[in-house]
Amino acid sequence: MSERRRSAVALSSRAHAFSVEALIGTNKKRKLRDWEDKGLDLSMESLSPSGQLGEDEDPTPCLDLHPDSEQSTGSDTEVLAERTSCSFGSHSDLTSGGSGPQPPPPSSMEEIQVELQCADLWKRFHDIGTEMIITKAGRRMFPAMRVKITGLDPHQQYYIAMDIVPVDNKRYRYVYHSSKWMVAGNADSPVPPRVYIHPDSLASGDTWMRQVVSFDKLKLTNNELDDQGHIILHSMHKYQPRVHVIRKDFSSDLSPTKPVPAGDGVKTFSFPETVFTTVTAYQNQQITRLKIDRNPFAKGFRDSGRNSSWLDSCLH
């Protein structure tokens, strides 16, 4: 084995004809393309001798390469406009669905669609009752929000941002013997608003649409005095993540510490299966198990000893 180094090498076995995708880094750490759309219209494609694209594969689907994955039981992505999505705020209007050729200046937001990645994984958590740990230092979400965006104007510049809003005005507690979340009173007083502006931001529609837009670096905290720019939430409350597409010319009020502005240049999307309850320690053991099973960073807690021992014994 020990293919770790190999897969990071320029001419690895995965490199088909110097895939531009490998260069651009659909979702990898490479920031090379970062500056590209930020005021300049430069192309990295000159780096590719073949100029060939290989956009079909997503190098890190759900941060979840678990072999037992049941993703084959259905589509692992989900188009917003088709089934699960609804829009919050007053920005989005899917009601005017038709593509009437009446282009509002500078470019229409109406045809924009946002598709949740790893929808199957989200649904498995949702069926149990998704929990997200929040800590003083900030904790990533698992699963992370990952979306594909279509219908953008390729030459228009956009910010993509995410925030998390309360689902209701209640505080919850987990009742162990019934394995259910119960209302435990009214919500705590509101926390300072925070918006996570995607780090690739200010990029062209073309760039956004080429890649899976991942929010895996976003962190949640319960520290109301947080100075790291993390999203502040109350523990034991229910929240809904939202994704915002913001046209550049409409971003004058955009700030990580102010609510996302509303209006024609902003379109907001959310996915009901991404609702979660904040905790400081997991309540439902099924959630713990699924997290350990799917989050690569928790691999140390997988008791592959127990799970695979009977399988191992079959193979001997």
Binding site for a copy of itself (CB under 8 A): 5, 8-11, 15, 18-20, 22-23, 30-32, 34-35, 38-40, 42-44, 46-49, 136-138, 157, 159, 197-199, 201-202, 217, 221, 223, 225-230, 248, 251-252, 254-258
Helices marked H in the chain: 4-7, 20-24, 119-128, 205-210, 285-294, 304-315
Site for DNA in 67-106 (CB under 7 A): none
- Give all strands (DSSP E) within the chain, no chain letters: 78-79, 113-116, 131-133, 139-140, 146-150, 157-166, 170-175, 180-186, 196-197, 203-204, 213-214, 219-221, 231-232, 238-247, 266-270, 276-279
Q: Select from a copy of itself, DNA, none the partner in contact with residue 184, using the beta carbon and a kind-dependent cut-off of 5 to 8 Å.
A: DNA
Size of the site for DNA (CB under 7 A): 39
* Shortest CB 132 distance to a copy of itself, Å: 18
Question: Is residue 106 reached through a cis peptide bond, with omega within 30 degrees of 0 on the bond before it?
Answer: yes
Q: Select from a copy of itself, DNA, none the partner in contact with residue 152, using the beta carbon and a kind-dependent cut-off of 5 to 8 Å.
A: none
Q: Which stretch binds DNA (CB under 7 A): 14-22, 128-136, 191-199, 239-247?
A: 128-136
* Shortest CB 164 distance to DNA, Å: 16
* Shortest CB 219 distance to a copy of itself, Å: 10
Token pair 């899976």 is found at 212
Yes or no: say if 116 and 77 are a contact pair by the CB < 8 Å rule. Answer: yes
Distance CA 35, CA 256 (A): 20
Locate 160 and state its tokens: 């993509």
Q: Which of 140, 238, 244, 247 binds DNA (CB under 7 A)?
A: 140
State how beta strands 238-247 and 180-186 pair: unpaired
Q: Select from a copy of itself, DNA, none the partner in contact with residue 22, using the beta carbon and a kind-dependent cut-off of 5 to 8 Å.
A: a copy of itself
Question: Would you count residue 190 as binding DNA (CB under 7 A)?
Answer: no
Nearer to DNA, 57 or 93 (CB): 57
Q: Which of 24, 254, 279, 284 binds DNA (CB under 7 A)?
A: 279
Locate 92 and state its tokens: 């989005």
Question: Would you count residue 2 as binding DNA (CB under 7 A)?
Answer: yes
Nearer to DNA, 206 or 293 (CB): 293
* Shortest CB 222 distance to DNA, Å: 5
Question: Would you count residue 135 as binding DNA (CB under 7 A)?
Answer: yes
Question: Would you count residue 291 as binding DNA (CB under 7 A)?
Answer: yes
Token pair 């917003």 is found at 80
Q: Which of 225, 281, 311, 315 binds DNA (CB under 7 A)?
A: 281
Q: What angle do CA 133, 137, 140 make, to 5 degrees?
A: 45
Nearer to a copy of itself, 111 or 224 (CB): 224
Number of CB atoms found within 10 A of residue 248's CB: 17
Distance CA 202, CA 208 (A): 9
Total length of the chain: 316
Nearer to DNA, 35 or 297 (CB): 297
Question: Would you count residue 306 as binding DNA (CB under 7 A)?
Answer: no
Yes or no: say if 308 and 272 are a contact pair by the CB < 8 Å rule. Answer: no
Distance CA 33, CA 40 (A): 11
* Shortest CB 200 distance to a copy of itself, Å: 8
